[in-house]
Structure 1
Amino acid sequence: MSLQWKGVFPAITTKFTAEGELDLAGFSANVKEQLAAGVNGIVLGGSLGEASVLNTAEKELLVKTTLEITGDKVPVILNIAESVTTEAVRQAKLAKEWGARGLMLLPPMRYKADDRETVTYFKTVAAATDLPVMIYNNPVDYKIEVTLDMFAELAEVPTITAVKESSRDVTNVTRMINRFGDRFSILCGVDTIAMEELLLGANGWVAGLVCAFPRETVAIYRLTKAGRIEEATKIYRWFMPLLELDIHPKLVQYIKLAEKQAGIGTEYVRAPRLTLIGEERERILTVINTALANRPQLPEYLSIAVH
């Protein structure tokens, strides 16, 4: 199965018990919901997956558990978010041993590398594997922007084939296409501008609220790519108050609460994160429950051909 960076790739949340242990039953149930909804790949251990609190053994278990469910249906992608280049290289090699089909690669963590250091980091990790690599460009949260000139250098590495575009600047899609044509697949990484970027030529969507609302997410993608804009827009407008939960520092807690309310997850997180309480929890519940009460009727979107 070759990896095509195209379609909807859920940034899956990592399910925990109330005691903070991995909840593999809950995790597996959500992955099955994603597959039934028609997603095109699974991204493990991302920011939404609470990468910073997972150890290597847990990452291996998550990859292998996911592969037991997905088989050859969709590719499984492992995120790499490390502070040390040698550890990132080790994780890349382990990912292939475990059966992952691709990597999502963040810039160096904790240290704000300059352009040369960042490019060297990306090149070193990507050169250590034959798995396809998606660069995660998120200067808002990680304070490092991967510029067009940096991508020109990264284009020299054949395994670097995609970008998760999370700069929150929709014009970056056009700039990337103007500069590089189809050299890099572009996947939107910000829920609130996903339809806009798909219309501008993005190939896919690494989504967050898909964890709680997989069918609506895939429907928007397929309808948009099929040119059925009016239908997609109606769903997207309903979705927007929920999608805004993706751009908050507590996106993990917010989206997990949405999973709970939608019946396909729990709100448990691993410390130092804490579950929501008080007015904040009630406010987010209002957003979620209002959306659930007005959930739109979806067309038969899985039969829509997407090229």
Structure 2
Amino acid sequence: MDFGKVLTAMVTPFDSEGKLDLNKTEMLVEHLIANGSDGLVLGGTTGESPTLSDDEKLKLFKFVSEVVNDRIPVLAGAGSNNTEATIQLTKEAELTGVNGIMLVTPYYNKPNEAGLYQHFKSIAENTKLPIMLYNVPGRSVVNMSVDTTVELSKVPNIVSTKDASGDIDMMSEIIERTDESFSLYVGDDSMTLPSLAVGSHGVVSVSSHVIGNEMQDMVQSFINGESKKAAKIHRSILPKMKACFMAPSPAPVKAALNYYGVDVGSVRLPLVDLTLDEFNTLKGILDQ
């Protein structure tokens, strides 16, 4: 399944009391669809998954699926480091109308490659939905090997991987060794263009909340053979990409959205909002 080129790892909007705000969510979804997002990934790291309850996640999945109404693909972040709990949440997510599931590598309990394979295979066998794997060693302390990813790509409904390893050689090898129907999305915004050059399908992005159209323009320029134009766009938007990670994510991108008039509220503890100095630095970059 083709989820698109520029997918946004969507922030979760909260009200002034820190509760899930569906009115703000609807406005954010419309903003993203209108500004370059080919698809949405809900309940991931950027969506503050560690502090969302399963009930909140399911409510979010169902609501966004209804708002989107099949205009673009919606993927639900259902992964955790508990295989049984992930199977249960995946089954419940399937009933909300989402188009796919994203599953992060199990964090904290540090499984070996055999454990990773069995974890993902077991979940895949319990859903009909297409699955995107998510390798993010910087957060999970587990870097899933190329061999394991290649083996998992042979499971019929594991169709894609989001790679946030930062290792372009590893990405190249995964792309080379998997079937053409299996797609690799890069998980680091600033590596979008380099990853396209070695054959990635696209990006699951944070900064596309605020520079979605520019990212889309960069990707399409590259696809159309206009590599110099794509490189020029990459260089021009790189400061904004980096600014979205100047503090623990998603605090900077939420601040940027609020600054642009797309109200998404604050972040939940243990994350905190930007300091005034950080916000002024962010504002200066956004205003360039």
The bucket for the TM-score relative to the shorter chain is: over 0.9
Q: 1:251 is matched with which residue: 224, 249, 267?
A: 249
May I ask how many residue pairs the two structures share in their alignment?
288
Report the secondary structure of 1:103's partner residue. Answer: strand
- Residue identity matched to 2:209: C
Report the secondary structure of 2:132's partner residue. Answer: strand
Equivalent-residue separation in structure 2 for 1:292 and 1:272 (angstroms): 26
Most deviating of 35-44 and 232-241: 232-241
Deviation at 1:163, TM superposition (A): 0.6
Equivalent-residue separation in structure 2 for 1:78 and 1:9 (angstroms): 12
Equivalent-residue separation in structure 1 for 2:157 and 2:141 (angstroms): 24
Q: 2:218 is matched with which residue: 207, 217, 220?
A: 220
CA gap 1:126/1:172 in 2 versus in 1, 3 angstroms? same
Residues 140 and 167 of structure 1 are in contact (CA less than 8 Å); yes or no, is this contact kept in structure 2?
Answer: yes
Most deviating of 146-155 and 119-128: 146-155
Equivalent-residue separation in structure 1 for 2:196 and 2:279 (angstroms): 27
Residues 40 and 75 of structure 1 are in contact (CA less than 8 Å); yes or no, is this contact kept in structure 2?
Answer: yes
Residues 44 and 76 of structure 1 are in contact (CA less than 8 Å); yes or no, is this contact kept in structure 2?
Answer: yes
Aligned equivalent of 2:116: 118
Deviation per CA, 1:20-75, whole angstroms, max 9, x where unpaired? 11122222111101111232111000000000111122112211221222111111
Equivalent-residue separation in structure 2 for 1:143 and 1:244 (angstroms): 22
Residues 89 and 125 of structure 1 are in contact (CA less than 8 Å); yes or no, is this contact kept in structure 2?
Answer: yes
Residues 212 and 264 of structure 1 are in contact (CA less than 8 Å); yes or no, is this contact kept in structure 2?
Answer: no
Aligned equivalent of 2:284: 290
Unaligned runs of 5+ in 1: 295-307
Deviation at 1:137, TM superposition (A): 1.0
CA gap 1:130/1:248 in 2 versus in 1, 3 angstroms? farther
Aligned equivalent of 2:173: 175
When the two chains are superposed, the root-mean-square deviation of aligned CA atoms in Å is 1.8
Residues 213 and 262 of structure 1 are in contact (CA less than 8 Å); yes or no, is this contact kept in structure 2?
Answer: no
Equivalent-residue separation in structure 1 for 2:184 and 2:150 (angstroms): 15
Deviation per CA, 1:270-294, whole angstroms, max 9, x where unpaired? 12222122xxx423532x3233323
- Residue identity matched to 1:210: S
CA gap 1:284/1:195 in 2 versus in 1, 3 angstroms? farther
Q: 1:202 is matched with which residue: 173, 177, 200?
A: 200
Residues 36 and 208 of structure 2 are in contact (CA less than 8 Å); yes or no, is this contact kept in structure 1?
Answer: no
Deviation at 1:262, TM superposition (A): 2.2
Residues 3 and 73 of structure 2 are in contact (CA less than 8 Å); yes or no, is this contact kept in structure 1?
Answer: no
Aligned equivalent of 1:72: 70
Residues 86 and 123 of structure 2 are in contact (CA less than 8 Å); yes or no, is this contact kept in structure 1?
Answer: yes
How many percent identity over aligned positions? Answer: 28
Report the secondary structure of 1:134's partner residue. Answer: strand
CA gap 1:232/1:264 in 2 versus in 1, 3 angstroms? farther
Deviation at 1:18, TM superposition (A): 2.3
Equivalent-residue separation in structure 2 for 1:253 and 1:103 (angstroms): 24
- Residue identity matched to 2:192: A
Deviation at 1:123, TM superposition (A): 0.6
Q: 1:42 is matched with which residue: 31, 40, 54?
A: 40
Deviation at 1:248, TM superposition (A): 5.7
Deviation at 1:181, TM superposition (A): 4.2
TM-score, normalised on structure 2? 0.94
Most deviating of 162-171 and 228-237: 228-237
Report the secondary structure of 1:152's partner residue. Answer: helix
CA gap 1:88/1:259 in 2 versus in 1, 3 angstroms? same
Residues 238 and 291 of structure 1 are in contact (CA less than 8 Å); yes or no, is this contact kept in structure 2?
Answer: no
Aligned equivalent of 2:5: 7
Deviation per CA, 1:165-215, whole angstroms, max 9, x where unpaired? 111012223211222242420101101111111122111110001122222
Aligned equivalent of 1:85: 83
Deviation at 1:9, TM superposition (A): 0.8
Most deviating of 240-249 and 189-198: 240-249
Residues 190 and 246 of structure 1 are in contact (CA less than 8 Å); yes or no, is this contact kept in structure 2?
Answer: no
Deviation per CA, 1:106-165, whole angstroms, max 9, x where unpaired? 122321111111111011111111111011011122111111111232133111110101
Equivalent-residue separation in structure 2 for 1:68 and 1:183 (angstroms): 28
